[in-house]
Amino acid sequence: MAAQKKGTGGKQPTINDVAALAGVSKKTVSRVINRSEFLTEKTRKAVEQAIETLGFVPNPQARALAFRRNFLIALLHDNPNAQTVLNFQQGVLDAIKDSDLALLVRPVDRGSDRMLDDVRTFLEKQRPIGALLLPPISENDDLAALCEDLGVRYVRVGSAPLDDAKHCVSSNDREVVAEAVRALIALGHRRIGFVRGPQGFRSAAEREKGFMEALAEAGLDLPAAYNAPGNYRYTAGIEAGEALLSLSLPPTAIFCSNDEMAAGVMSVAHAKCIDVPGALSIIGFDDSPTATHIWPALSTVRWPIREMGVRAAKTLVPDFLPLAGKVDESDSGVLNSTFIQRQSVSSPQR
Amino acid sequence: MAAQKKGTGGKQPTINDVAALAGVSKKTVSRVINRSEFLTEKTRKAVEQAIETLGFVPNPQARALAFRRNFLIALLHDNPNAQTVLNFQQGVLDAIKDSDLALLVRPVDRGSDRMLDDVRTFLEKQRPIGALLLPPISENDDLAALCEDLGVRYVRVGSAPLDDAKHCVSSNDREVVAEAVRALIALGHRRIGFVRGPQGFRSAAEREKGFMEALAEAGLDLPAAYNAPGNYRYTAGIEAGEALLSLSLPPTAIFCSNDEMAAGVMSVAHAKCIDVPGALSIIGFDDSPTATHIWPALSTVRWPIREMGVRAAKTLVPDFLPLAGKVDESDSGVLNSTFIQRQSVSSPQR
DNA sequence: ATCAATATTGACACCGGTTACCAAAATGAT
DNA sequence: ATCATTTTGGTAACCGGTGTCAATATTGAT
């Protein structure tokens, strides 16, 4: 029974009650709460005892007012993939579970020209300890500059290091995409198609680089007809599938820049009665729920998004706040993505 | 240019600055902020003018301290479907967009026996205006009782009215499931299988009732072999599919209690080379992203989750806070789900 | 014009912590 | 024992709003 059960109307004990019970001043209690070093072991014990007895919990609103800073972490996101956002949230929450912090969620509207003003107002009002920026909005330098300007700590999450490690958590997508494509090549694929992500997205660029790298290593090239545009949406996958699979010499494998588009390509394959993976291998990226809900199950790259949430939170939280397992300063902030091979891939059969 | 651009260090104006500029007391400014009715038009105008000039934004922390309540809405959820949670979040955010409120997210761990204590501590610390309870945790009466006890407003979201309209937003799932099943019957299906949701879940019970209703109306019954257990997971769909489709006289249509399980059944059909929808029609529930990412696209029931978020927020927020489009008191709090017919359904061909 | 009744406004304490600053106590050096 | 130095505790002010209740302005009736 950790918490004191209190009925309705049972008022929360305040710092004054604790001080009275411990026989010290409220300032001393405050020192204990904030882990000041100038305290006798005896005093500290007495105060901690009183806190325990009363079940005292410092009022965050009062602390926020005095500190001029709320004990909140803001999560700014505009990622359309719900699972990604939620997994990241979960990671953040894992990290701050036993702390005094809470998570404030704020989707931002990248399209809007008032975006920066909106975020500014939000940050000025809520005064969070810091902000976590999820891609693609994390790639916006103005936003990072805004945080700097407002004195709000921030961590950018991305597919590749964006900045110094203090402000960035990322994964090695390029390498792992290359690894996945190498796997296709090792299986004997020579005609490999590519479905791009949207222009101007760092994640899309990284995936493309990895793809090209692996192709180049094997001395293969990418015919223009095998290089289909995309925007991370299912419908773009359908269109790319229609285009690539109608060619007189279609690819035997297609790498799609995300799972949704891969699902689209697979739908087209089904509609055209093309056997997957017999006649066509497909790889996606994200390891979204979709990847395992389609048939055959999609080979994909798992982005360690939840771990990145943990890491991002630990990087964000300043040292003076207690948080289990602070991040090692020397850490580069790069986490590993992993290639997951499932049934959508085999050697080409012809 | 809505917000005043301020460089680093430019301090926020306070209520005192506004009072001084408008030549009134800070209390009067407070009255304007809180839309008190006892104010001359003249005073109000003067204060509003001063607020505008200074670009004053009331400090939420100070207000929270004085009000003894934070201007936050807490979202308590344990729904495994990320899209559902995020859509709901989006609805809530739509509703509170132009208000002073912000959204605090808090997943709860239904399994844990400390769950109630954790939530209690959370609510006592954060002191949100109110809490929104997403299913299935919304079905927990202890949680609602806890909110009552702590004086925290709450709204429960569910598949059927749980309580009085003041505390509940729901959808008419039962009716719409019945409608979907009637559609199958109208197409000529007589052997219709059912994949249940997990025991003890209100949503599962409602869907089952709707299914049974439609069957009963048509004078059909559900053989035990056609009634498969499930737990809303993809793997349960696989198991159910294996069971139902291995029968010597398999159903010509299967209603699954959610989309994930429907995707599982569809995978089995593909693996067994059973044509969907020719030899097997499948219906799911949720209209999750999966529904349109599998092939053929899944007929399903769309749960108006985002609208429910809007409604829930409007129901939750007390009258004294300004919020566009408050909910009509006389409203029952029931929103309409809709049956969406896609390619996974046709008349039975044999 | 006068007075009571009512509508507005303001003074001041308070929400529950923190910081600034000073005093008191403890410690060590001479 | 005395004095300088280091810890520790206390007081008051403050963070930026809101509640209470009395003071003042306005209105209508006489």
> In this predicted model, what pLDDT tens digit does every residue of A68-108 receive, in sequence order?
888 899 999 998 888 899 999 999 999 988 788 899 999 99
Residue B345 placed within a domain: no
Residues A197 and A299 in one domain: yes
Interface of A with B in 72-91 (CB under 8 A): 72, 82-83, 85-87, 89-90
Mutate to test the interface with B, among A63, A99, A295 (most CBs of B within 10 A): A295
Tell me, yes or no, whether B259 and B317 share the same domain. Answer: no
CA-wise closest residue to A265 among A237, A244, A287, A285: A237
Going by C-alpha positions, the residue among A349, A194, A185, A189 that lies closest to residue A276 is: A349
Minimum CA–CA partner of B100 in chain A: A125
User: Range with the lowest mean pLDDT among A21-25, A124-128, B161-165?
Assistant: B161-165
Give the model's pLDDT for residue A134: 95
Q: Which two tokens stand for residue B203?
A: 């949503």
pLDDT score at A347: 96
Q: Are residues B182 and B166 in the same domain?
A: no
Q: Are residues B139 and B241 in the same domain?
A: no
What is the maximum span of chain B, computed from C-alpha positions, in angstroms?
A: 87
Torsion of CA A221, A223, A226, A232, to 10 degrees: 70
Tell me the three state secondary structure of residue B171: strand
Name the β-bridge partners of B73: B103, B130
Pairing of the two strands A227-228 and B281-283: unpaired
Q: Which residues of B132-143 are buried (b: 16+ CB within 10 A; e: fewer)?
A: bbbbbbbbbeeb
Taking residues A309-327, report their average pLDDT. Answer: 75
Nearest chain A alpha carbon to B293: A263
First to last CA, chain A: 67
Residues 6+ apart with CB under 8 A from B126: A60, A102, B70, B72, B74, B104
**Do A166 and A312 have their domain in common?**
yes
| pLDDT band (50, 70, 90) for residue B1 | very low
Tokens for B336?
Answer: 């309409």
B105-142, pLDDT tens digit by residue? 999 988 888 999 999 989 988 889 999 999 999 999 99
Domain total for chain B?
3
| Torsion angle (degrees, nearest 10) of CA B13, B14, B18, B19 | -150
Answer yes or no: do A115 and A188 share one domain: no
Residue A34 confidence (pLDDT): 79
Q: H or E segment at A77?
A: strand A72-77
Tell me the one-letter amino acid at B236: A
3 state SS of B233: coil
Q: Rounded distance, CA B191 to CA B181, Å?
A: 11
| CA distance linking residue B268 with residue B228, whole number of Å | 14
Do the chains contact at A103 and B106, CB–CB below 8 Å? Answer: yes
The 10s digit of each residue's pLDDT in B72-85 is 999 999 988 888 99
The mean pLDDT value for A143-172 works out to 88
* B298 and B309 assigned to the same domain: no
Quick one: pLDDT band at residue B5, thresholds 50, 70, 90?
Answer: very low
Mean pLDDT taken over chain A: 89
Q: Which pLDDT score, from 0 to 100, does residue A150 have?
A: 87
Q: How many residues does chain B have?
A: 350
Answer yes or no: is pLDDT of A36 > 80. no
pLDDT of residue A324: 57
The bridge status of strand A102-107 relative to strand B168-171 is unpaired
Q: Domain range for residue B28?
A: 12-50
- Provide, rounded to the nearest whole percent, the portion of chain A with pLDDT above 90: 60
* A12 shares its domain with A96: no
Chain B stretch 122-181, residues whose beta carbon is closer than 8 A to a beta carbon of chain A: 122, 124-127, 149-151
Q: Does B19 map to a domain?
A: yes
A338 DSSP 8-state letter: E
Q: CATH number for the domain including B160?
A: 3.40.50.2300
Domain contains A340: no
Interval B174-200 mean pLDDT = 97
Residue with tokens 């390029």: A174
Q: What's the whole-number mean pLDDT along residues A283-310?
A: 95
Q: Which positions on chain D have an atom < 7 Å from some protein CB?
A: 7-12, 14-20
CB B28 within 7 Å, strand C = yes
- Residue of chain B nearest A116, judged by CA positions: B3
Q: Do B258 and B220 share a structural domain?
A: yes
Is residue A127 in a domain?
A: yes
Taking only the tens place, the pLDDT of each residue in B10-26 is: 567 899 999 999 999 99
| CATH number of residue B28's parent domain | 1.10.260.40
Q: Are B124 and B40 members of one domain?
A: no
Count of alpha carbons within 13 angstroms of residue B221, beta-carbon side: 3
Helix, strand, coil abundance in chain A, percent, nearest 5? 45, 15, 40
Question: Would you say residue A347 lies in a domain?
Answer: no
Q: How far apart are the first and last CA of chain B?
A: 67
Contact B84, B286 (CB under 8 A): yes
Choice between A199 and A28, residue whose per-residue pLDDT is larger:
A199
In a domain, B344, yes or no: no
| Strand order from edge to edge, sheet including A227-228 | A227-228, A192-195, A253-256, A281-283
Q: Identify whether residues B138 and B226 lie together within a single domain.
A: no
Quick one: pLDDT at residue B321?
Answer: 64
Does some domain include residue B248?
A: yes
d(CA A194, CA A257): 8
Phi, psi of B202 (to 5 degrees): -55, -45
Contact indicator for B99, B130 with CB cutoff of 8 Å: no
Q: For residue A342, is it within any domain?
A: no
Window 45-74 of B: residues touching A by CB (8 A cutoff) are 57, 59-62, 64-65, 68, 70, 72
pLDDT category of residue A159 using cuts at 50, 70 and 90: confident
- Looking at the fold, whether A184 and A226 belong to one and the same domain comes out as yes
Whether residue A61 has pLDDT greater than 80:
yes
Q: How confident is the model at residue B330 (pLDDT cuts 50, 70, 90)?
A: low
Q: pLDDT, tens digit, for every residue of B298-311?
A: 999 999 999 999 99
For residues B17 and B14, what is the distance between their CA atoms, to the nearest angstrom? 5
Q: How confident is the model at residue A2 (pLDDT cuts 50, 70, 90)?
A: very low
